[in-house]
A and B are shown apart, each in its own frame.
Chain A
Amino acid sequence: MILNALSISMIFIGAISVFLTVWGGISSLFLYKKWGVSSTPEERTSLEDRSYLVLLIMMIVLLIRLINWPLFYGTLQSFIHDIEGAMCIFGVTQVKPSLTLFLEYLKPITFFLIGGWLILHFLDRATKTSPLMGRKLLLLSVISLFVLIDSVGDILLMIGIAPGTLVSCCTTVTDIANRPTRTTPESLLGPQYAQSIKILYFVTHLLLIGVVGLVLKFKKLGNTVPWRRGILAFLFLFAMVNGILFVISQIEVFAPSMMHLPFHHCLYCLWQYVPDSIVMYLLFILGTFSVGWGFTTELFGKRGEAADLLPGYLRKIYWFAFFFLLASLVMLIIHLLVD
């Protein structure tokens, strides 16, 4: 176990999260089952009071868990000097490869779910009758499960990483000729795949920004807009495809170019050699997730009083998506021009 300020924070946040999500998850499931079942006014008031307490505490836990994702990478970065052979985060991930990989996939999913839930929560709080309370409680119990697994994983990982472990770093894995990010596009696009990926990424990214811009053009994104749900679902899918292309193009083309290391394809090295790329990634993630959050808000937020407020919320969410995606693209272009 490597002890530093960040690993202690991770363990502390993990332990608190485990305790509170077990309580919050079970409580929210219990409250969901009771919610809407006719009862006496006293019972109803008690149920509402308990729901607000659970929601308040869980909201704080979830907000902290949002920070946990970047904190996770910050902590792994802080371990580099204690792991023999590690020159970037990749080396640290090789100490407990399966668990780290699992957490690396779980964290963005949890982040997305938490973000989606928080938007739903804020939408519901803006109403007087809380029409989304039942859905919120049910979703909260599901998200609690993800947070619980994530928190236990964090604790196990922090305890399991032993200082002085000898590992091989990224050079021996990310740069091999038969890496999937090279072989797959090469088989589809031919030997000049790098150039094609670059163009493809710019086209899809600009198209995504354009379509989000078009969606914003619908003055109020009102409930009468035909096929709204279908359009937003398509946008979400498109954003995910764009996300996959972003990752492949970063590994194969942009990261080596930004690092001035044409044969090195490690994204963790990019974050360390070109620190502002972290901001670019953050903007891209927030932009892509905002598109998804727009869809989930449309999916779960169209009920009762909340349905009237939904268009305004959707507009804000897509405005953020538009801005974040554009900002990440501008950062990438500036970097490529400077290089």
Chain B
Amino acid sequence: MAYVAPAPAEVEEVELYHAHSFITKYVFSQDAKVIAIQYSSVAIAIGVVGLVLSSLMRLQLGFPESFSLIDPAQYYQFITMHGMIMVVYLLTALFLGGFGNYLIPLMVGARDMVFPYVNMMSFWIYLFAVLLLVASFFVPGGPTGAGWTLYPPQAILPGTPGSGGGIILMLVSLVFFIIGFTMGGLNYVVTVLQARTRGMTLMRMPLTIWGIFIATVLALLAFPALFVGGVMLLLDKVLQTSFFMPVILSLGEQLEYGGGSPILFQHLFWFFGHPEVYIVALPAFGVVSDLISVHSRRNIFGYRMMVWALVAIGGISFIVWAHHMYVSGMNPWFGFFFATTTLIIAIPTALKVYNWVLTLWKGNIRFTIPMLFALGFIVTFTNGGITGLFLGNVAIDVPLSDTMFVVAHFHMVMGVAPLMVIFGAIYHWFPLMSGRMMDETLGKIHFWVTFLGAYLIFLPMHYLGFLGVPRRYFEMGETNFIPASAQSLSAFITVVTVIVGVAQIVFFYNLFKSMKSGEIAEKNPWKAASLEWQTPDQPPGHGNFGAELPVVYRWAYAYGVPGAKEDFVPQNLHPDEVGEAGAHEASEE
């Protein structure tokens, strides 16, 4: 594949798909913006299911005596479904299918994704996967209770709830998710590579696009591992093959299995599972970079370093997977290698945090709702990243693995932190998508309750982990090392969880109310420089950019440029119109 030498060239106009009826416009639509909203709606809907499940689990953990809502089997089914829904069906789908579809064409200056039909198929297959997942609640035995890691042998044996139809539906659903995602992923990658507008070099792209792009590449390389593991586990279940199954008893009975290796599955799962963390995190990194830059009216600090860090994190994320397996019984000498790579990945990640904070420094900060959520992200991500250094350091992982410390860590770093970004992004791009502003007072209430609440849930939870409280316990029961006060702490966490859960109603109320009757947004209300705000219509119409595609003259972070008329210079503003001194006053270094 040859590199296109930079030469004056017009971007070819592509033939656009045009909808002819209500059905093809809003249901079987091939417009990326509609697909984005479809993806987001389904992802958020299933995410609410995940949220409700977590509240039920918390009630059990906080008040094991008073609530007998769920039994142990249901508890294990709920933690499994909660985990799988949140990681795969909510976060992955929302960041890539939702934000990716909406923002990629707009931010790189394309009329649509390059393969609109494949893009539409991607959504419908995703929806089918979600329906299969939901269906597993209604089969005999219920959904699988194997934990979201689905480790064999227990995942497919009768001692685990939902080891019949539940696990089969789960695995089939994952296979469909991967097929659907691959279709979408091809679109995102090729659109970013091939369909940018004139003047939009890779290094002029906003970090949001970089984050989504690298995350998609990771996903295309990582999901095959889940596919391989999932299909083989499915065969172990359905055809009684022995890929992962050693000679075992199940509840006292000899089974026909023999010779397989359960650890092999774990390697496959985490070869997918660790990059998966970054598939969620990198788009969040990208989006939050843009939120911080726009709302502090300052260029993102160290843009090149930010891009390099994304690339480096993406690359290293493929050689750290076994840090989830330090105490899995794998060859213990792997521990040295994986602990080292894991702590190395902290360096580019820390650099990103520094650069976000340094963007605020000498900025001109507006404390809008998106900015507040971005600050919330900095706090929760720093906290969660730091506890990752504990768990990545192999000797510390020994006492802490599989305790509540782990639960607290990954919720902080890939639950709360990305959700902060998602909320921030919704408040940020809502005016673009709907033409209206969201209510600021409600937004502030939503932010403070969610941020402080989530922090109060997960900060103390780490300390339960230090005590030795295990994760995935239906109830703690009697032990001689956990003080009674730990139960009070657990009850406190549950109360806060319920409050934070209920507070999300404020968000949904604000969302729907603003959609109908919110204040009409002025054009480009945040005065952002990136292309998606420079469309002739707001919200952008079919084909995004009207008669002519924009031409890009600068990077997406021209904020506070000396000599410019305004404190921001849109990417497509002709250099002659910038101001007295011209477009590129910035000196080196």
Asked whether A and B interact, the reply is no
